[in-house]
């Protein structure tokens, strides 16, 4: 299959591209490199430096492809609060531009990078795909809900096959957010630099941490799915942030000092997935447990930061 990956020079997109290539697919990466890095794109993938705001360039690049995996989104929740218009423009408007370019280019299949944030404050755990969407606490979450809605429209109007993957908490090599607001890279980097670990809520929040390579495989597994479908992608396991800190401490063989940052508005106390639907539909299941994933992540950051083991 010829697969078009938007945002393929970023954290998740670079891993998705490698998985697809490893399975024999042809891959084209489109990225404007505003946040991605050219060196993360696999050599055997075709690369186009362009912005989704350029509808003509996107349409031309799309011709001849069988499917799109759409990952070109702004991610940082705290930044979305400060720059809601930029997030709406990039995440919502550019996604609709992509859908229109797909329609004109005759490409009617898309896998969308959504998020567990669409559920808002969970009414029950684990979260399941038929749980209601919640009121959003930040513009980032609102953009995901909006794009999910537009995908439903394009399914209804144009017969698109639209697969929505609701991620929980991805982590692993190549995570390059600036500013870095995600728990695992913040913990790992602070630990390696021998700085206090920044913790909100004393690390008592419960999250579902999924290793990025496992997440990448889920995209390949749903490429041939039909219709409008939603799948959670998580591990089915809730883990406290303090447990992540303790695991990193054990791997490094030393205690880690804590920087207690107090409470943070907008955080939910606990969120973790049921991925039973994805498992039953495709056979997908996570293969990398938290300790092994953290070991790999620590080694990546050692190399990236030039810190000896």
Q: Which of 140, 154, 167, 171 is catalytic?
A: 140
The pairing of strands 26-31 and 46-49 is: parallel
The pairing of strands 239-240 and 161-167 is: unpaired
With contact defined as beta carbons under 8 Å apart, do 210 and 169 qualify?
A: yes
d(CA 61, CA 59): 5
With contact defined as beta carbons under 8 Å apart, do 275 and 234 qualify?
A: yes
Active site annotation includes 140? yes
Cα 205 from chain centroid (whole Å): 20
**Mind telling me the catalytic residues?**
140
């Amino acid at each position: 299959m010829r697969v078009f990956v938007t945002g393929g020079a970023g954290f998740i997109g670079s891993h998705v591209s490698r998985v697809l290539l490893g399975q024999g697919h042809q891959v084209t990466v489109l990225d404007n490199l505003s946040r991605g890095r050219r060196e993360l794109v696999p050599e055997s993938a075709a690369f186009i430096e362009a912005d989704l705001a350029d509808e003509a360039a996107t349409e031309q690049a799309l011709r001849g492809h069988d499917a799109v995996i759409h990952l070109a989104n702004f991610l940082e929740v705290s930044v979305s609060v400060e720059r809601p218009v930029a997030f709406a423009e990039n995440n919502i408007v550019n996604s609709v531009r992509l859908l229109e370019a797909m329609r004109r280019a005759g490409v009617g299949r898309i896998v969308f990078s959504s998020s567990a944030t669409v559920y808002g404050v969970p009414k029950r755990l684990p979260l399941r795909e038929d749980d209601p969407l919640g009121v959003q606490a930040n513009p980032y979450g609102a953009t995901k809900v909006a794009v999910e809605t537009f995908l439903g429209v394009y399914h209804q109007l144009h017969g698109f096959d639209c697969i929505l993957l609701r991620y929980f908490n991805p982590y692993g090599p190549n995570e390059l957010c600036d500013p870095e607001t995600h728990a695992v890279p913040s913990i790992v980097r602070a630990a390696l630099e021998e700085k206090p670990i920044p913790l909100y809520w004393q690390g008592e929040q419960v999250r579902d941490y999924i290793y990025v390579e496992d997440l990448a495989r889920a995209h390949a597994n749903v490429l041939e799915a039909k219709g409008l479908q939603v799948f959670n992608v998580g591990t089915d396991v809730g883990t406290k942030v303090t447990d992540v800190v303790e695991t990193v401490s054990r791997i490094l063989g030393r205690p880690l000092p804590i920087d207690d940052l107090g409470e943070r508005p907008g955080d939910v106390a606990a969120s973790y997935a049921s991925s039973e639907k994805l498992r039953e539909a495709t056979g997908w299941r996570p293969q990398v447990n938290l300790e092994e994933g953290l070991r790999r992540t620590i080694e990546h950051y050692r190399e990236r930061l030039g810190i000896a083991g």
